[in-house]
Amino acid sequence: MRLLEQNNDGDLRVTEDLIQNIPPYAILSHTWGTEGEEVTFEDLVNNTGKNKAGYAKLRFCATQAANDNLQYFWVDTCSINKSSSNELTEAVNSMFRWYHEAVKCYVYLSDVSIDTNDQYDGLSRSTWKTAFRNSRWWTRGWTLQELISPISVEFFSMEGNRLGNKRSMEQQIHEITGIATQALRGSSLSDFTVDTRMSWAAKRTTTRKEDEAYCLLGIFNIHMPLIYGEGRDNAVLRLREEINKS
């Protein structure tokens, strides 16, 4: 597991691949921008990428982690060396656990805007709550486990203003996702049928078709190799076979 930290000069650096003695860390949940917008592992290694749009999310996460007295944080765009198929496979198979073990999960909603000065104004509150319900974040496959797995999930606007947390917004989240409140509160996912858990992902999409299966590995406590190029149907079939074995 590679973590990020902010140096004394303000630059971000990625740690070596940590196997044991993982320090406390925060973790980011977000939706990816268009191709080329996100900061990659290579960008951090080469000290580039500061002009990319996605760098603002890293700065947000670094600042918020520091506010929570956390030195380290994890971001999927740049904490994984995706040029290594072994590292990518390990990361995807470990991701549910990594989100669960994070001290804080920050959900950065790039399509929800709120002015701090208007935060308690009735009209403004109504506007951002509508945007919150309609956020793209609820439609993505990977964000399902990022909502369910962490113990502490906090939602933030694109300006970095805190909107609430998983517990305080529980009813809205249930209405948006159809996920049972017991699951949101941390009940064992084995308490829910396979079909119920599948239904939580039914309307969610992923950029790569195989990820429609891979993003559910943690939801079903399954581990399996990633074979990009096998197609969605084959990936789902392998997932179903592993579920039936468990």
CA distance linking residue 25 with residue 218, whole number of Å:
20
Give me 164's structure tokens. Answer: 């609430």
d(CA 241, CA 239): 5
d(CA 1, CA 21): 11
The yes-or-no verdict on residue 189 having pLDDT over 70 is yes
Q: Does residue 119 carry a pLDDT above 70?
A: no
| HEC sequence for 80-133 | CCCCCHHHHHHHHHHHHHHHHHCCEEEEECCCCCCCHHHCCCHHHHHHHHHHHH
- In 3D, which of 185, 160, 187, 191 has the Cα closest to residue 171? 185
> Which of residues 119 and 202 earns the better pLDDT score?
202
pLDDT for position 116: 63
Cβ-in-10-Å burial (0-12, 13-18, 19+) of 223 comes to middle
Q: Pick the residue with more confidence: 150 or 128?
A: 150
Model pLDDT, residue 155: 98
For the chain, where are the E strands, in sequence order? 4-6, 12-14, 25-29, 72-74, 104-108, 153-156, 162-165
Q: pLDDT value at position 5?
A: 95
Mean of the per-residue pLDDT values for the chain?
94
Averaged pLDDT, 107-134: 79
Euclidean distance between the first and final Cα of the chain, in Å?
Answer: 26
Name the residue among 123, 112, 121, 99 with its Cα closest to residue 161: 112
239, pLDDT greater than 80: yes
User: For the residues 115-143, what does the mean pLDDT come to?
Assistant: 80
Task: Give the model confidence (pLDDT) of 19-38 as tens digits.
Answer: 889 999 999 999 999 889 99
Residue 123 is predicted with a pLDDT of 47
Cβ distance 184 to 166 under 8 Å? yes
Residues listed for the chain: 246
Tell me: the pLDDT tens digits for 53-107?
999 999 999 999 999 999 999 999 999 999 999 999 999 999 999 999 999 999 9
